[in-house]
């Protein structure tokens, strides 16, 4: 009621129109002969799961076959269904295990679906609502990793992996693998890239630590791999590649953290450790991702925030490498397989490319081709006339240089309305992307947007993440505040004109701007946030984040966690800027109690510029459909603009 006036209504309709426009980019993945896509628009707010062929997809108007209409399903069954994905049966892809969530929650219902008949399988696999999923072992068996029927860790995720045969009781199905309750989760994967199928089990000890077991084709006789826990591993096509977060002395050689090593899997299992170095990190050169495609390894790197890609081919005589050319060196660029199932890949790759003033494009990199070809491009959602993108660096509290990307008018006025955002956690890289919503309601009207690469992210590798982790989380927040100050120092704006937004871990960031740096901001939009760090590890998935923040039940760690627990740092009588704290009732990842308690405490202290918003659905996001997401965003931006005096 307070912010839902005419301006809000105009923005909501504009945002909804962008999210629902019929000519937006349909993202795809190949399953057998078909390209599958999940599509949302105004007529199908819950979405259509549909498919076409590659030849048809190349056309301006592809011929889509609807496999499942989620809106019709929700209406027919009287459920608040939203789509969370599907696992199709490898080889034939004629059956799928659908993941259906209520109101956008993380917890899902599993149901077997016939993709040929386009209907649910009578008497097929079905599991009640729980966090987790299932993967196919064979045509009539699933590997079930679900936090159901008591198989749950302290973080609320699956504690076991069961072999669930068709027609059997899932609760009575044999447990092939289990982890301790204080582990984060148990997981499983099936490698079909060789003649003999291999089952891999994962004990995610913590968010950044894992133990791996290799089992036979039926998931039996698992044997643990001799590896440290702080590793990322990908073993396919008879090769194994490993990246450790910390320095590793192996095979008589010491490698710095984030080095990627590779060798034949059979040799590794026999005890050899003569790895080949595939990637070495640099001060601002990091490996963001690596994955196999048709027996070749794709490396996705950032070189001082510029995306770089290489394709490596393994052999016993040495690994050859070649650059992947034809992709831009700025913005958000990703390269991955076209095929869902690795064993069915012929080497075709997809690249998605975008930048703050360039809407996303989808490019096909066919196997053996020298350069990519454009498949589809999203239309422009806002006018870019007069806008430029520039990169800058601010100096944080400890002297570290913190990069940020600024999009807006070329000329500075000293009074620009600035929208500033960051994430800064869990090694997530926050690269400059095309944001049609901010573009429409902020940039097109003459505003400026800023995306920050604060510590805690993964832009420069593990060291950058670790610097903003545990006690260093305060430094991550200092980085953000330093960027706000740098925008003023450079003559872009003044503090009262800076509007900041952040969600989840970024919501913790925004809450700390309120309590630690209130003088640097004009208004704050704090969404789906963590704020009570004393109890976070006891709420929903919170225990899994101890690896990022620390354990508040340990007095020595609580001593520094408390310094950025915004709920505890909020005190009365301060000149706090206006803040809108928003969550959703169906958020089963970050408990909505965080946002409720923070708003209640601030209001009880007498702050009259504290507002709270909690729609019924949405999960850990801004809504369960495009209309709800548009309303959530429009409300936030209406609030921010009003409070910085830009209406």
Residues serving a catalytic function are 504, 620
> What span, in angstroms and rounded, lies between the C-alpha atoms of 78 and 44?
16
DSSP code for 170: G
> What span, in angstroms and rounded, lies between the C-alpha atoms of 601 and 567?
8
> What span, in angstroms and rounded, lies between the C-alpha atoms of 192 and 195?
7
Burial class (CB in 10 A: 0-12, 13-18, 19+), 155: buried
Burial class (CB in 10 A: 0-12, 13-18, 19+), 233: middle
In the structure encoding, which two tokens stand for residue 379, read together? 């239309």
- The DSSP result for 376-404, as a single string, is EEPPP-S--TTEEEEEEEEE-TTS-EEEE
DSSP-derived pairing of the beta strands 332-337 and 349-355: antiparallel
List the one residue out of 160, 164, 182, 181 whose CA is nearest residue 173: 164
Rounded to the nearest angstrom, the gap between the alpha carbon of residue 147 and the centroid of all alpha carbons in its chain is 21
Map residue 233 onto helix, strand or coil. strand
| Sheet of 296-303, strands arranged across | 285-293, 296-303, 306-313, 320-323
List the one residue out of 120, 96, 98, 117 whose CA is nearest residue 109: 98
- Residue with token string 């960051």: 422
> What span, in angstroms and rounded, lies between the C-alpha atoms of 49 and 236?
29
In the structure encoding, which two tokens stand for residue 28, read together? 């795809």
In the structure encoding, which two tokens stand for residue 556, read together? 């020595």
Say how many residues make up the chain. Answer: 647
> What span, in angstroms and rounded, lies between the C-alpha atoms of 118 and 193?
29
- Whether the Cβ atoms of residue 248 and residue 420 lie closer than 8 Å to each other: no
- The torsion defined by the Cα of 584, 588, 589 and 590, in degrees rounded to 10, comes to 50
DSSP code for 152: B
- 473-489 helix and 505-516 helix, angle to the nearest 10 degrees: 60
Distances from the Cα of 352 to the Cαs of 361, 368, 379, in angstroms?
Answer: 6, 19, 14
Planar angle of CA 98, 101, 105, nearest 5 degrees: 140
> What span, in angstroms and rounded, lies between the C-alpha atoms of 452 and 361?
23
Rounded to the nearest angstrom, the gap between the alpha carbon of residue 517 and the centroid of all alpha carbons in its chain is 28
């Amino acid at each position: 009621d307070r912010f839902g006036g005419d301006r809000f209504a105009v923005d909501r309709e504009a945002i909804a129109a962008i999210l629902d426009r019929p000519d937006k980019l349909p993202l795809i993945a190949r399953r057998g002969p078909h390209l599958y896509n999940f599509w949302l628009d105004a007529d199908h707010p819950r979405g259509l799961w549909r498919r076409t062929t590659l030849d048809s997809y190349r056309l301006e108007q592809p011929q889509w076959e609807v496999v499942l209409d989620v809106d019709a399903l929700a209406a027919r069954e009287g459920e608040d269904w939203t789509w969370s994905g599907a696992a199709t049966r490898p080889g034939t892809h004629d059956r799928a295990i659908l993941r259906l969530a209520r109101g956008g929650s993380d917890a899902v219902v599993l149901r077997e679906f016939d993709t040929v008949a386009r209907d649910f399988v009578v008497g097929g696999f079905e599991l009640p609502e729980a966090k987790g999923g299932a993967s196919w072992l064979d045509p009539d068996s699933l590997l079930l990793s679900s936090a159901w029927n008591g198989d749950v860790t302290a973080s609320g995720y699956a504690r076991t992996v069961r072999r669930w045969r068709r027609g059997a009781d899932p609760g009575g199905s044999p447990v092939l693998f289990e982890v301790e309750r204080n582990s984060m989760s148990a997981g499983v994967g099936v490698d079909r890239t060789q003649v003999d199928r291999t089952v891999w089990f994962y004990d995610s000890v913590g968010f950044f630590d894992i133990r791996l077991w290799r089992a036979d084709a039926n998931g039996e006789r698992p044997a643990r791999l001799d590896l440290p826990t702080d590793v990322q591993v990908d073993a396919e096509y008879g090769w194994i590649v490993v990246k450790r977060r910390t320095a590793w002395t192996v095979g008589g050689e010491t490698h710095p953290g984030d080095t990627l090593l590779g060798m034949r899997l059979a040799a590794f299992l026999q005890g050899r450790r003569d790895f080949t170095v595939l990637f070495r990190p640099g001060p601002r050169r990091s490996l963001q991702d690596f994955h196999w495609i048709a027996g070749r390894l794709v490396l996705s790197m950032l070189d001082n925030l510029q995306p770089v890609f290489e394709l490596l081919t393994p052999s016993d005589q040495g690994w050859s490498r070649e650059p992947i050319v034809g992709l831009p060196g700025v913005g958000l660029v990703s390269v991955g397989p076209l095929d869902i199932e690795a064993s069915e890949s012929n080497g075709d790759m997809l690249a998605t490319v975008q930048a703050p003033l360039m809407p996303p494009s989808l490019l096909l990199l066919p196997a053996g081709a020298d350069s990519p070809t454009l498949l589809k491009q999203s239309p422009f959602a806002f006018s870019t006339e007069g806008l430029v993108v520039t990169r800058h660096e601010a100096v944080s509290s400890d002297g570290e240089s913190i990069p940020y990307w600024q999009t807006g008018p070329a000329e500075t006025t000293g009074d620009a309305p600035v929208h500033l955002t960051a994430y800064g956690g869990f090694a997530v890289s926050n690269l400059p992307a095309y944001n049609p919503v901010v573009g429409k309601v902020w940039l097109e009207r003459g505003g400026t947007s800023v995306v920050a690469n604060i510590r805690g992210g993964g832009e420069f590798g593990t060291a950058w993440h670790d610097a903003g982790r545990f006690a260093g989380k305060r430094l991550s927040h200092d980085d953000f505040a330093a960027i706000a100050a740098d925008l003023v120092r450079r003559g872009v704006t003044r503090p009262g004109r800076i509007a900041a937004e952040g969600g989840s871990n970024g919501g913790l960031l925004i809450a700390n701007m309120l309590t630690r740096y209130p003088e640097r901001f004009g208004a704050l939009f704090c969404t789906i946030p963590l704020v009570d760090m004393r109890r976070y590890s006891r709420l929903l998935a919170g225990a899994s984040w101890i690896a990022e923040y620390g354990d508040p039940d340990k007095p020595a760690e609580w001593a520094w966690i408390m310094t950025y627990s915004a709920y505890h740092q909020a005190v009365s009588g301060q000149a706090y800027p206006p803040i809108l704290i928003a969550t959703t009732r169906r958020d089963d990842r970050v408990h909505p109690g965080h946002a409720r308690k923070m708003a209640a405490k601030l209001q009880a202290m007498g702050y009259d510029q504290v507002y709270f918003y909690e729609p019924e659905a949405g999960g850990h996001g801004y809504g369960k459909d495009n209309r709800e997401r548009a309303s959530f965003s429009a409300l936030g931006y209406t609030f921010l603009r009003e409070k910085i005096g830009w209406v």
